[in-house]
Chains A and B, each alone.
Chain A
Amino acid sequence: MKKKRIRVPVNHRVLFKLWKIMRLSVFFLLLFVAQTFATVTYSQQTRLTLKMQSAKVIDVLNKIEDESEFFFLFNQKLVNVDRQINVDVRDESIDKILSGIFENTNVNYMVKDRQIILTTAPLGTDSELGQQKPVSGKVTDTSGVPLPGVSVVIKGTTTGTISNVNGAYSISNVPNNTTLVFSFIGMKTQEVEVGNKVSINMVMEELTIGINEVVAIGYGTMKKSDITGALSVVSSKEFESRSTTHLGDALEGKIAGVQISKPSGQPQAGYNIRIRGISTITAGSEPLYIVDGVPTTSINEVEPTDIESISILKDASSAAIYGASGSNGVVLITTKRGSNQATKVNFNAYYGVANVWKKQDVLDAGQYKDLMTEMGKSTDWSLYKYNNNWQDRVFRSAQTKNSQISVSGGNEKTSFYLSSSYLKQEGIVITNSLEKYNFRINLDHKISDIVKVGTSISYNKWSDKSVSEGGKWSTANAILTGSPVTDVYNEDGTFSINPFISDLENPVALLLQDEHEYKNYRFNGNMYAEISILKELKFKSMFGVEEQNGSYHSWIDPVRSRWGRTNQGLASYTNSLNFYWISENTLSFNKVINKHNIGAMAGFITSERKGEGSSIDAKGFGSPAVHTVNAGATRNAGYWEAAKSNVSFLGRINYGYADKYLLTANFRADASSVFGANSKWGYFPSFSAGWRISKEGFYGENNVINDLKIRAGWGVVGNDQVGDYSSFGLVSPGSFYVIGGAKVPGTAISSMENADLKWEQTAQTNIGVDASLLNNRISLTADYYTKNTTDMLLNSPIPGSVGMGYDGSFATKNIGSMTNKGLEFQISSKNLVGELKWTTDFNISFNKSKITKLDKGVPIKTGYISFRGNVAIAKEGEPLGMFFGYVADGVDPQTGLMKYKDLDKSGDLNDGDQTMIGNANPDFTYGLTNNFSYKRVTFSFFFQGVQGNDIFNASRIETEGMYLAINQLATVADRWKKPGDITNIPGSAGNGDDHNSLLSSRYVEDGSYLRLKSATLGYDLPKSICNKLRAQKLYLYVTGENLLTFTKYSGFDPEVSIYGTGTDNALKNIAPGVDYGVYPQSRTFLFGINLTF
C-alpha cells in the first residue's frame, strides 16, 4: 500500500501545535516503551540499504518510505528537499542515514518509532522546541560501582530508559533545554540540566535520612515516614568507609538514647549496649539482638561488613511486638543480600597498630626502696638490682589484621551474597589476642510469582586469650604495683617474687603463668518461605537455628609459679553446647484504598533453647610437658544442662490516612517455661499515633520546615531473663559424702520454690518530633520518654534459718520497681552540598533513673573491692549506679592519717558514717560526626563524650594506698612524712592497715571525657588506575582511633567499667563506673583498602 505523504505548509506556531499533539501520542507510546524496557524500537531494529546518485532529497525520502514503514513529517518551506545528494549506505540504521543526508544543513530530524519529523534549527535560544540530540552516560554508586536498572527520564515526560548491567544508558532525542531525572529505589533522585552536554555520567547517592526510606521494624518493614514509635536506623554507609571489628564500633556515639561503651580495652571484650538507661537490677540489661530474624545471645561474632542496616527499637510502642523480651529495646540487624545485578566482588582489608595511649608514672627502684624502708620493711637490697617499669615489659605495639571478601549478584529469580572474613587482633598487653573467622551465605529465590524462598547462614569461629581484669592483682594493677627491683625470672627459671610478699609474683609472671584459651564455634542460619496468597496478603514462615559450641582450657605449670608448685600444676577444660531454634509464622496484609493505608499482621512463634556443658579440673602433674587435663593425677568433673521454651502470639494493626494521620497498635502474648506455674502467660500491648502536620492543607509550602511529624506512644514490654529453673525448689544430686571409705550419693535442697515467678514489666511512654528543615538540609529528631519498671526481679534475702545455706539464702521474687526518664536529640545537617561536601551528625541523650521500691527497702550492695567491701549500692530514691562509702576529709597534718567525716556524730568511724559518695550516671552523653568530601578525597572524624559521671578509682587503693609492700604511683612521693606536712596524700600505712585507704570519696573522680574516637582520611583512586587493575573502584584510607582524649580522670582510661563484663547482671547494673584494674584502651592507627571488581 502506498502511503500518503503528509505535507504541512504552516508556520512555526502551527507546526509547534501539531508537534504538541504528536508529542502526546508519541509519549504515550514511549510510556509503553519505558515500561517495557527491554523492547527494542522499530527505528533501532530497521536496517536499510540505499544507493542513489545525484538524487533529490525528496526522492531519497520517498525511497525510504517505500522501503520501510517510516514516514516523514516536515514543512516544505523550511526544509529544502530539492537539494541533490548522493546516498550509498549498506545495512545502516535510519539515524545514520538521516545524519548523512542532513549533514551540514540546518535541518534536524527526530525519529519517533515510525515517524520522522524534519525541522530546521531553532532560531535563537528561545526556541520552544529546542535542539534534540542523543545523550548517553554511565550511572554508578558513590563507590564507583555501575548501577544497573536506574531509570533515566526526561523531566516532565515519560520519555526515558533504564541503565544496563554496565550502568550505561542512552536516550536518543533529548532536547537541549530539558532536564534528565535519574531515580532508583533506595537512592536519592537526582536531576541534571542537559544543556549542550551529550554525555552525562551520574553518581547516585543512597538515601540515608530520607523519610521515604523503608526500614526494618519488628516482623516486617515500614516506610520511615509512617513510623510512630522511637526507632533509629544506622545504614552500612555510615561505617563502611572505615575499619570496624565489632558492631559496637559502628554504633558507638551515633544514636541518641543508646549508650554504647567499651568496658575494657581487651579486643574480645566487646561493648555494653544500653538503650535508654538500665531498667532492671538483677536481670540482663542488654537489648534483644535479632540477626535476620533470629534472636542471638551475642553480637560479638557478627561481622560488621556483612551488615546492611541496623534498626534500633527504643520505645515500647516499637518493641512491644517482642513482648516479654523487649524491655531493654531491640536491635534488628539486617545483613546484605544480593540483587538483580552484575556480580560484584568486594575486597576489604586493613592493618593496624595499637599502643597504650597513656602510661602512669610509678616510683622507680630508689623511691620504692625509700618507701619500703619508711614502711618498716627491710631486706638485703643488694639482691635486688633491677629498676623495672613493668608497664614497659607488659605493653606492646599490637597488630591487627583483617580481611574480608564478598561476592554478590543475581538475576531476576535468584540472588546471592557470599562473604568470608578473617580477623587477628593482638591486645596491647602481651599474651592477649583475638582471632575470628566468619562465613556467610545469603540466598533468595523466586519459585514463582507467589512463592519466594531464601536463607541466611553464617558460621563463625572465635578464639581469644584474655587477660585477668578486676581485683588487686589484675594485670592493670599489677603492672603499677609490681616491685620494680626484680626481673621476670630468677636464675633457677622460677618467677621472681616481690621481696616482701612471698606469694606475689611479678606482673609478667602473672600473665605468663596462666596459659588459657577460649574458643567458640557458632552456626546461625534460617530459611524462609514467603507466599503471596493475594496481592495484599502474604504468609511468611521462617525457621531459624543457632548452635554454639564453646570451650575453655587453662593451664598453670607445676614449676615456675608458686600456685603451680602448690598444686603440682593445674589444668581445666570446660565445654558447652547450645542449640536454639525458632519457628515463626506470620500473615501480613497491606492495602491502600484511596487515602486509607491499612496494614495488619498476625503471627505465631515457638522457640526452644537447650544447653549442656561439662568441666574437668585436674591437678598433680608430673611434668610441665603436657598441658591438658588428662595428665593430671587428681581430676574433678562437672556437668549441667539447661532448657527454655517459649510460645508467643502476636499481632499488629497500622492505619494511615492520607499520610497524615498514622496509628499503630501491637499486641503480644508470651509464655515461657521459666515463669512460675502460676504465671505462665504475659500480655504486652502498645499503641502509638503520629501526625504529619506538614501534610495538612493549612500548613502550605514552607521552606523552613519541610516536613514535620509528631509522634506519641505507650506500651508494655517485659524482661524475661529469669534463671532457667528459678521457679523450682531445686535439690542438688551432687551432695556426696564419704561413708564406708567411699563416696556415696547424696541430695540436698538448694533453693525454694516460687510458682509466682514471672517477667519484669516496663510500661513506657514516648513523645517525639521528626522534622526536616531548610530544604531538607537539616533533619531533626527529638524524643522524650518515661519508663516504669515494676515486678522487678530481686534476690530477696530469706532468713538463713530457712536452711538454704549461705549461697542459697536468697529467693528471686518480683518485688522491685524503678523508673527511667530521658530526653534525646538527633540532628543531621548537610552544611555544604557543592563540590566540597560537609555533613554533620550530632546526638545527645539525657537519662535519669530512680529506684522506687526494693525488697523491704533494704539497699542492695555489690561491687566488691578486696578487703574493703562493696562500693556500689542500689537504694530506694536514688539512681542505679551510686557509690557508697566514707567522706574523705583531708589528711591530718599531725598524724598523716586520712580524716573522714563523722556523719552520724558518734565520735568514731563506723558504718553510720557511710553515705552516697558518687554517681556513675552521666548527665548526658553525646556524639559528633563530621564528614567532608572533595572530589575523590573524604575525611571524617568522630567525637564522642560523656559528661558529669563519677568513676570510683579503686585501683588507687592499691596504687596509692601504701598499705602493702608493693610499688605505688609516683604521686605518693608527696605523701605525708612528718607532723606539720600539709598534703592530700596520707602517710604510708605500714603492714595491712587499711584506715587510709577505706572506700571513700578520696577515690571518686570526675569521669567526664570527650574523645576523638576516630578520624579517617580516604581517597578514591582515579578511574585510570582502577581500569589498569580491572577494578571498578579502589578506595584507600587511614584511620586513627582514640587520637585525643580530654578528661580529668587520673587512671589509664575514663571509659571503664570493671564489672561491665561477665555474667553477674546485678553487678553490671548496680556497679558501673568502677575502675579496679581495668585493661586500658589503646590508640590505634590503621591503613585500609577497599577494592571492588
Chain B
Amino acid sequence: MKKIYHSIRILSLLLIITLSFSCKDFLDVRPTTTLNTGNAFNSAQDLNNAISGAYRTFYTEYYQWDYILLGDVRSDNAYCGGTNDAPIYDYDQLTIKTGSDRMIRNWCDLYQGIGRCNIIIGKLNEITDPELNKNDLRKKILGQASFLRAYHYFNLVKNYGGVPLELNSNSADPTKTNLPRSTEKEVYDQIVKDLEVAISNLPDKFSDDNKENKVRATKGAANALMAKVWAQRADRDYTKVISYCNAVINSPAGYKLQASYAELFDGDHYMNDESILEISFMGGDWDVSNWGVQLFVAPEDGWQKYCVPSKDLVNAYNSENDVIRQDANIVFWDNPDWADENWDPCMDPDIKVPFNYKEKHPDGWNSGDHPVLLRLADIILLKAEAQNETGDMSGALTSLNIIRERAGISDQTASSKEDLRAKVLKERRLELAFEGHRFDDLVRLGIFVSTMNGLNDYKFTCGDGVQSDPIKINYNATNDNILCPIPQRERDTNPNLTQNPGYN
C-alpha cells in the first residue's frame, strides 16, 4: 500500500510538470527570423522599411536585364547572343511562346512590385502613428508607392496590353484574385491617376544628396514618367507630353545634361544631374549588386554573352560618325572563345566582336553598375518628338541638337515633319541604345513592323573553317508581335484572362 502511495506521488508530480504549461502557448510558434503580416506593418518605420522593400523590385530579373532584352534584342538593336537560348532567341525572332518561362517571370516580377505598393498604400490609411505626419512622411510614402505602382503598370501595359488592375493584393482567395483584363486605356488611366498622386505628394528632392534623390521617386521622376506615358498610350497627347517634359526640364531639382556622354556610363559618375531615376546597386555585396552585367560583357567567362549589338546599330553609329556614343555603348573585342553566328562564325582571330557596353563592370556577377531608368536626355528627345508632332519643328530641332552637341556631332536639319520624326527617332536610338527604349519607340511611331521586316540583316554558318555565304534573317513581324503573350501559367491560374491576338 505504501508502494502504491509512493508511485501515485511520483505520478502526480510528473503530471503536474507536464500539464503545467499551456498547450495553446506551446503550440503558438511564430517565425523568428522573418516578419509576418501580423507584425510587419504597424508603424511609420515599418512603412519606411516597406518602401525600401518596394524599391527592391528593381533587383528582380526583369529590371536586372530582361527589360533591356525586350527593348533592344526584340528590336533592331541587338541579336540574342548567348547560345541562342530558346526563350531569349524567341525575343529576337519575335516568336515568343505563351509558355515562356521569361514571360511568367516578368509578369510576376512586375506584379510583385505592384503588390508591395498596394500593401503600403492600403496600410497607410490604417496606421495612425503620429510619426507619419512629421516631415511629410505620409505624403512621401504615398507618393513613392504610387509612382512605383505606375512605373510597373507602365511596363506591364507596354508588354502585355490591357492587364488585370490589381490594386489590393491582400488575398489568395480566387473570388478576389481572378480579375479579368482591363483595357489598355483603363490601365493607362490608372497609371495617370497614380502619377497625379505622386506628383502632388512627392518632393523635388528628398535631401541635398543626389545619392538619395536619384534613386528615389521624385516629382521629377513622376513628371518624366507622365511624359512617357502620354506619348506611349494609343490616345497620345503630345501637348501633355511637352508640358510634363518641361516640368522636368525646368524642375527645381535642377536636372542638366552631363557634359560628357562617356562619363554617363563609365561607372564613376552615376547619380549625376542628368539622372532622374536609376537602379541603385552596390558592387561587392551580393545582396544588392547587379548580376545582369555579367550576361552582357565579361568574355573571360568563356561563354557567349547576350544582347549582341546588331550590324544595323553599328552601321547607324557609323553613318553619323558618332564615335563618342558608339564607344560608350559598344565595345569590340578580339575573338573570344566562341563562334558568333552574326559576326564571327569561324572564330577568325582577325575579327572583332561587339558587346553591349552600357554597363561595363561585371565584377564576377557582383557589379555596382546602375541601370538608368529615366534621364534628362530621354525627356529632351521626347520633347523634340512632341514638338515636331505638334508642329514646332524649330523647337524640335533645338531640342534635338542639344543632345547632338553633347555627343560631339554636328547639328541636324530637317526637310519635313516626317524627316525630322525619323531623325529624332534615330537620335533616340543612338543616344539611348541598350537602355530598353528602342522597341517602345518603334511601336509608338507605328513603324515596328515595317522596320523589322525592312531590315537587311544576315548571319553565317561555318563549315570546315570556312564562313558560309550570308544567310538573310527574316523577322516576319506582324502587329501581333507588338504585345507579348499573356503567360500561359497565369491564364491557367486565372481563367478570366483572355489571350492577346496571334497567340493561342
Residue ranges of A at the interface with B (Cβ–Cβ < 8 Å): 373, 376, 378, 450, 497, 502-503, 531-534, 539, 541, 562, 565-568, 583, 585, 604, 606, 608, 617, 619-620, 633-634, 636, 639-641, 643-647, 671-674, 680, 724-725, 728-741, 743-750, 752-754, 797-806, 808-809, 811, 856, 858, 867, 911, 991-992
Contact = CB atoms under 8 A, between A and B. Distances in A.
A246 B30 CA distance: 37
Contacts of B281: 738
A745 B49 contact: yes
B163 interface: yes
B254 interface: no
B315 interface: no
A750 B34 CA distance: 10
B37 A743 contact: no
A617 B27 contact: no
Contact of A803 (B10, B34, B112, B286): B112
B14 interface: yes
B172 A749 contact: no
Nearest to A803: B115
Top 4 nearest A-B pairs (CB, nearest first) are A803-B115, A502-B337, A746-B52, A735-B53
Given A503-B301, A806-B112, A619 B364 contact: yes
B34 A725 contact: yes
Interface in B7-30: 7-8, 10-11, 14-15, 18-19, 23, 26-30
A800 B111 contact: yes
A539 B463 contact: no
Contacts of A671: 23, 27
Contact of A867 (B34, B36, B86): B86
Contacts of B280: 737-739
B86 A728 contact: no
B494 to A, nearest CB: 4
A729 B41 CA distance: 12
Contacts of B322: none
A806 B108 contact: yes
Given A738-B280, A739-B216, A745-B49, A805 B37 contact: no
Contacts of B494: 799, 801
A146 to B, nearest CB: 37
A644 B31 CA distance: 10
Interface stretch (B99-107, B390-398, B410-418, B443-451): B99-107
Given A604-B18, A731-B41, A738-B282, 13 more contacts: A503-B337, A531-B11, A730-B37, A734-B287, A738-B280, A740-B211, A744-B52, A747-B35, A748-B50, A798-B493, A802-B171, A804-B115, A992-B83
Most B Cβ at <10 Å: residue of A531, A644, A799, A805 = A799
B412 to A, nearest CB: 38
A747 B40 contact: yes
Most B Cβ at <10 Å: residue of A620, A672, A729 = A729
Contacts of A744: 52
Nearest to B49: A747
B178 interface: yes
Contact of A606 (B26, B32, B119): B26
Given A534-B4, A801-B111, A735 B365 contact: no
B487 A800 contact: yes
Contacts of A606: 18, 26
Given A634-B285, A803-B118, A644 B301 contact: no
Nearest to A604: B18
A731 to B, nearest CB: 4
B53 A737 contact: yes
Contact of A806 (B27, B38, B104): B104
B104 A731 contact: no
A585 B10 CA distance: 12
Nearest to B303: A503
B30 A736 contact: no
B29 A673 contact: yes
Most B Cβ at <10 Å: residue of A567, A617, A739 = A739
A585 B14 CA distance: 9
Interface string B138-172: 00000000000000000000000001101001011
Interface of B: 3-4, 7-8, 10-11, 14-15, 18-19, 23, 26-38, 40-41, 46, 49-56, 58-61, 83-86, 99, 104-105, 107-109, 111-116, 118-119, 163-164, 166, 169, 171-172, 177-179, 207, 209, 211-212, 215-216, 280-282, 284-288, 298, 300-303, 336-339, 346, 364-366, 461-465, 487, 489-490, 492-494
B286 A800 contact: no
Most A Cβ at <10 Å: residue of B84, B116, B172, B462 = B172
A743 B364 contact: no
Contact of A801 (B4, B54, B179): B179
B18 A562 contact: no
29 contacts: A502-B303, A502-B338, A503-B337, A531-B11, A539-B7, A541-B14, A562-B302, A565-B300, A636-B286, A645-B29, A671-B27, A735-B52, A736-B56, A736-B287, A737-B56, A740-B209, A743-B285, A746-B52, A752-B171, A753-B37, A798-B177, A800-B111, A800-B489, A803-B111, A803-B112, A804-B112, A805-B112, A806-B105, A808-B112
A802 B169 contact: yes
Contact of B108 (A636, A647, A809): A809
Contacts of B83: 992
Contacts of B212: 739-740
Contacts of B33: 639-641, 733
A540 to B, nearest CB: 10
A648 to B, nearest CB: 11
Contact of A800 (B30, B40, B56, B107): B107
Nearest to B55: A737
A644 B116 CA distance: 29
A644 B29 contact: yes
Contacts of B35: 730-733, 747
B177 A799 contact: yes
B461 A376 contact: yes
A743 B84 CA distance: 36
Contacts of B111: 800-803
Contacts of B285: 634, 636, 743
Contact of B53 (A674, A738, A747): A747
A647 B108 CA distance: 39
B147 to A, nearest CB: 15
Nearest to A531: B7
Contacts of A800: 104, 107-108, 111-112, 487, 489-490, 493
Most A Cβ at <10 Å: residue of B32, B58, B338, B346 = B32
Contacts of A643: 29, 32
A765 B288 CA distance: 55
Contacts of A647: 23, 26-27
Nearest to A993: B84
Most A Cβ at <10 Å: residue of B10, B30, B34, B115 = B34
A752 B364 contact: no
Nearest to B116: A748
Contacts of A497: 302
Contacts of B108: 800, 804-806, 809
Given A585-B18, A748-B116, A730 B171 contact: no
Contacts of B178: 799
A861 to B, nearest CB: 11
A369 B363 CA distance: 36
Contact of A805 (B32, B109, B209): B109
B18 A680 contact: no
Contacts of A735: 52-53, 56
B338 A747 contact: no
A802 B27 contact: no
Nearest to A538: B7
A562 B337 CA distance: 12
A725 B31 contact: yes
A739 B107 contact: no
A633 B284 CA distance: 8
Nearest to B58: A737
A746 B284 contact: no
